[in-house]
Amino acid sequence: MVNAIKGVFISCDIPMAQFIVNMNNSMPSSQKFIIHILDSTHLFVQPHVEGMIRSAVAEFRDQNSYEKPA
């Protein structure tokens, strides 16, 4: 019999995948959201955390973006 788990497939570059893995590792064990790390650029996560990951990535990118001084 086959076991199926609903989730979200994430494809990203290596640094962003490491950011997501680090975010997962900082959570308590009851709130960890990564179902499986497929390889260095692909993750399978629980579907309810998609919005949280998107907002954390957007905030991370905003903090690490260069803005030319006026």
> Whole-prediction pTM value?
0.84
Q: How far is residue 37's CA from residue 17's CA, in Å, rounded to a whole number? A: 9
Architecture (CATH level 2) of domain 8-64: 2-Layer Sandwich (3.30)
| Rounded mean pLDDT, 45-70 | 90
Domain boundaries, the chain: 8-64
Condensed to tens digits (0 to 9), the pLDDT of residues 31-48 reads 999 999 999 999 999 999
